[in-house]
Structure 1
Amino acid sequence: MKLNRRGFIGAGAAVAASLSAPMVMGAGKPRVVVIGGGAGGATAARYIAKGSKGAIDVTLVEPSRTYYTCFFSNLYIAGFRELSSIAHSYGTLASKYGVNVVHDWAVGIDRDAKTVSLAGGAKLSYDRLVLSPGIDFVDGAVPGWDVTSQNKMPHAYKAGSQSELLKAQIEAMPQGGTFAMVAPPNPYRCPPGPYERVSMVAHVLKEKNPTAKIIIADPKPKFSKMALFQEGWGNHYDGMIDWVGSDFGGDNVEVNPDEMTVSIDGEVTKVDVCNVIPAMKAGKICEMAGITEGNWAPVSGHTMQSRIDENIHVLGDATNQGDMPKSGFSANSQAKVAAMAIRGALTGSKVFPAKFSNTCWSLIDTEDGVKVGATYEATDEKIAKVDGFISKTGEGAELRKATYEESVGWYAGITSDMFG
């Protein structure tokens, strides 16, 4: 079945129906290549391999031998977790599920030939390709900053060494110093993430540097869980945090990494640490594959297939799919839908209607957890929100503690689901 993009957008039901019939692959097993080993890619590789019981050859391409989850990395910065607790390897995917794990960079995709080129020189053939590369940053999004400045002004929005660097910089701040964050515009990875990070930075400073100040320059007039965070900041860190939204010039920011200054609407402030979180876009491999429109890759919610190439499925942060936020939970949920669709297309296994869910937990201070979440369904136009929930202001300490403990259990569960 060959569809152009316009036809494919409205063809969700037809595509879903076609997945019940296996493709004729000729000799050998059908091949799936997955690029990106995070919450979307690792989950997809595991579910395709496990669900097909060896009938599909699955290759996972991921340059890092150790994967650090961006979710829960803020808790590492605050000292609630060790770095090793957010570090994961791919050994079980290979040994238990038979996934061929290749630690290399994907540097090119030939959609006509259905091949992926790797930096090491190898070329992988696929019948279906899964792209889950996460995010890259928009060039020039914050005047004065680019990725060559990330050691002086870390983003720490790809976890690991950047998380270690930011944590060390915060702990080395002089007494009474200033921490600045440049928050990103919508849409971006983990909507509550920057504000949980501010909370975790404040937690460290309250203990080690109580006269320090935090400034947030935000291009948005509001943000995820705003009332909950602002209530928490007032309860735990009164007077420490100054949020400057777009109504007050937060959308007019420049930085100077060499001078360690931040200019907000023309007012220049000398800072000791600056966490710059730039505007984001789909991981570069999506653009190289020619499946992006603007900064993101449009997909059908029924199958997570690209609306530009039906042989490619895109997951997680890189997608433009509708109502779901860009989060690890979302990527994991989307991966299961894609895995089911791919198994159906390649082996004839049963495909059920796509359902999705997401919850984002945030820690404000010790055992003060809040959450927001929703359930979703696929329509021909998008992934559409069905219903949702959010923590309430004024909740008691026991409920907030239970919410935090729920998040810890979720982390253990999702990482097991990803890596086996």
Structure 2
Amino acid sequence: MSRRSLMGALAAGVGTLAAPRASSGSRPKVVVIGGGSGGATAARYIAHDSAAEIEVTLIEPTRQYYTCYFSNLYIAGFWDYDDLAHGYGRLAARNGINVVHDWAVAVDREARQVRLAGGSALPYDRLVISPGIDFVEDSVPGWSVAAQNAMPHAYRAGSQTRLLRDQLMEMREGGVFCLVAPPHPYRCPPGPYERICMVAHLLKQRNPKAKILLVDPKPGFPKQALFEEAWQRHYGGMIERIGPESGSSTISVDPDTMTVDIDGHSETVDVCNVIPAQKAGHIAEVAGLTDDSGWAPVHPGDMTSRRDTAIHVLGDAADQGDMPKSGFAANSQAKVAANAICHALLGQRAFPARYMNTCWSLLGPEDGVKVGAVYEPKDGRIRTVDSFISTRDEDAQTRQATFRESVDWYHAITTDMFS
């Protein structure tokens, strides 16, 4: 975008952080939709690695980005709300990126343009879409996005996370907290099972007679043995999990009466955290990049869409194979995509795709566990080539070191994204 068009966007009510270098009009253009772990990382690495030879525009509606990862620590009271917040000014100024605060509402793949809610259209040579998740309506009967204030999902960090904590802080003595867990696949973190731990920690301090009910449509979940051991060790007697083997095959909710129906049995609750089934963020669907699964299939070597190789889909929205839908995974995928884009547009050296991920979970004060893997493209998908997981017999020093490692990672990844 030229400086004149940026000022026009401002006049139209679109907030923009202008890059310090005006476009010459001759540079290849990359537009990035979504300013989270995938999008912000991709924008930064494309701008940096191209030495400003590629004009990068990042579209993100919010001026403050709140990370979903570590939001459970805010719910527990370990972190402050502002610890999750990050702005885009440094990213724009240091890397020469145009950051446009607006909604992307359409993608014209033939004309290679992104249309914004403010009315402007941005041309691109390559497009990166990293829109996170949306929710599948009616996946939990009785719940809809319209009911999210009564029964918050808190699965997009920010106001929903604050709302859930406020409800927990105001819960009556001896009340019932219910979490309705999502089916696979789902964004993690903020993991629903870590959230159970963090809610239990908060209530153990403030409301020790409270009951926690976990209603889960899945027969099992990652790190299950570690979580279940921690629930007994840290929060004995507070937590009850109802899985399909014990009656959760049919789940519905009523936000008006604050009830949860589990296979015909109605339970009145005080706070209900409903995490619905998920799909790719809406703009991926609007762009025609998703399939019947609700996710956007991609090529594993460069994260290009299987529907349009001029578009890269990153993070939670991508159907790519074995990688979880995590911030670490999105950050890793963004670096592969950035290298592929610099190769395609500038002829820079292309490196073989290799991905990494680690997901940490906090079970109790400085009691951290982790699971992770290394991945490579294989047979048309991203496949695991090596993996690791914490064990139940680890000593307190190891668990403490794992938690501190997770905090170091948080500061490292947010610096990587926003600097």
TM-score bracket for this pair, using the shorter chain length: over 0.9
Amino acid at match of 2:329: S
Whole-Å separation in 2 of the counterparts to 1:408 and 1:121: 41
Whether the 8 Å contact between 1:182 and 1:275 is mirrored in structure 2 is yes
Structure 1 residues without counterparts, runs of 5 or longer: 1-25
Whole-Å separation in 2 of the counterparts to 1:135 and 1:250: 24
Amino acid at match of 2:213: I
Amino acid at match of 2:307: I
- 1:109 partnered with 2:107: yes
Sequence identity (%): 63
* Equivalent residue for 1:233, pick from 219, 231, 234: 231
Amino acid at match of 1:144: G
Please report how far the alpha carbon of residue 394 of structure 1 lies from its aligned counterpart in structure 2 after TM superposition.
Answer: 2.3
Higher relative contact order (CA 8 A, sep 6+): 1
SS at match of 1:206: helix
Amino acid at match of 1:302: G
Whole-Å separation in 2 of the counterparts to 1:36 and 1:191: 18
Q: CA offsets, 1:175-226, max 9 Å, x none?
A: 1100000000000101670000000000001111101000011000001110
Whole-Å separation in 2 of the counterparts to 1:191 and 1:125: 33
Whole-Å separation in 2 of the counterparts to 1:57 and 1:350: 19
Q: Which residue of 2 aligns with 1:404?
A: 403
Q: Which residue of 1 aligns with 2:380?
A: 381
Amino acid at match of 2:158: G
- 1:357 partnered with 2:356: yes
Q: Which residue of 1 aligns with 2:303?
A: 304
Please report how far the alpha carbon of residue 409 of structure 1 lies from its aligned counterpart in structure 2 after TM superposition.
Answer: 0.2
Please report how far the alpha carbon of residue 249 of structure 1 lies from its aligned counterpart in structure 2 after TM superposition.
Answer: 2.1
**1:208-247 to 2 correspondence within 5 Å?**
208-247=206-245
Please report how far the alpha carbon of residue 251 of structure 1 lies from its aligned counterpart in structure 2 after TM superposition.
Answer: 3.0
Change in 2 beyond 3 A, CA 1:122/1:299: same
Whole-Å separation in 2 of the counterparts to 1:248 and 1:208: 30
Please report how far the alpha carbon of residue 138 of structure 1 lies from its aligned counterpart in structure 2 after TM superposition.
Answer: 0.3
Whole-Å separation in 2 of the counterparts to 1:47 and 1:232: 39
Q: Which residue of 2 aligns with 1:129?
A: 127
Q: Which residue of 1 aligns with 2:185?
A: 187
Whole-Å separation in 1 of the counterparts to 2:382 and 2:231: 33
Amino acid at match of 2:149: N
Amino acid at match of 2:105: V
Change in 2 beyond 3 A, CA 1:191/1:75: closer
Please report how far the alpha carbon of residue 301 of structure 1 lies from its aligned counterpart in structure 2 after TM superposition.
Answer: 1.1
Q: Which residue of 2 aligns with 1:371?
A: 370
Amino acid at match of 2:152: P
TM-score by length of 2: 0.93
Q: Which residue of 1 aligns with 2:143?
A: 145
Please report how far the alpha carbon of residue 250 of structure 1 lies from its aligned counterpart in structure 2 after TM superposition.
Answer: 1.8
CA RMSD in angstroms, aligned pairs only = 1.0
Q: Which residue of 2 aligns with 1:172?
A: 170
Whole-Å separation in 1 of the counterparts to 2:28 and 2:379: 28
Q: CA offsets, 1:7-27, max 9 Å, x none?
A: xxxxxxxxxxxxxxxxxxx97
SS at match of 1:88: strand
Please report how far the alpha carbon of residue 275 of structure 1 lies from its aligned counterpart in structure 2 after TM superposition.
Answer: 0.0
* Equivalent residue for 1:46, pick from 37, 44, 47: 44
Whole-Å separation in 1 of the counterparts to 2:240 and 2:137: 27
Whether the 8 Å contact between 1:35 and 1:132 is mirrored in structure 2 is yes
SS at match of 2:95: coil
Whether the 8 Å contact between 1:191 and 1:223 is mirrored in structure 2 is no
Q: CA offsets, 1:226-273, max 9 Å, x none?
A: 000000000000010001111122231110001000011111010000
Q: Which residue of 1 aligns with 2:74?
A: 76
Amino acid at match of 1:350: R
Whole-Å separation in 2 of the counterparts to 1:290 and 1:194: 30
Whether the 8 Å contact between 1:249 and 1:265 is mirrored in structure 2 is yes
Whole-Å separation in 2 of the counterparts to 1:301 and 1:41: 17
SS at match of 2:150: coil
Whether the 8 Å contact between 1:40 and 1:132 is mirrored in structure 2 is yes
Whole-Å separation in 2 of the counterparts to 1:244 and 1:339: 43
SS at match of 1:96: helix
**1:239-318 to 2 correspondence within 5 Å?**
239-294=237-292, 295-318=294-317
Amino acid at match of 2:375: Y
Whole-Å separation in 2 of the counterparts to 1:249 and 1:282: 29
Amino acid at match of 1:216: L
Please report how far the alpha carbon of residue 125 of structure 1 lies from its aligned counterpart in structure 2 after TM superposition.
Answer: 0.2
Change in 2 beyond 3 A, CA 1:192/1:68: closer
TM-score by length of 1: 0.93
SS at match of 1:300: coil
Whole-Å separation in 2 of the counterparts to 1:180 and 1:54: 50
Please report how far the alpha carbon of residue 379 of structure 1 lies from its aligned counterpart in structure 2 after TM superposition.
Answer: 2.3
Q: Which residue of 2 aligns with 1:93?
A: 91
Amino acid at match of 2:303: M
Q: CA offsets, 1:302-332, max 9 Å, x none?
A: 0000011000000000000000000000000
SS at match of 1:112: coil
Greater than 3 Å deviation, 4+ residue runs: none
Q: Which residue of 2 aligns with 1:18?
A: none
Structure 2 residues without counterparts, runs of 5 or longer: 1-23
Q: Aligned pair count? A: 395
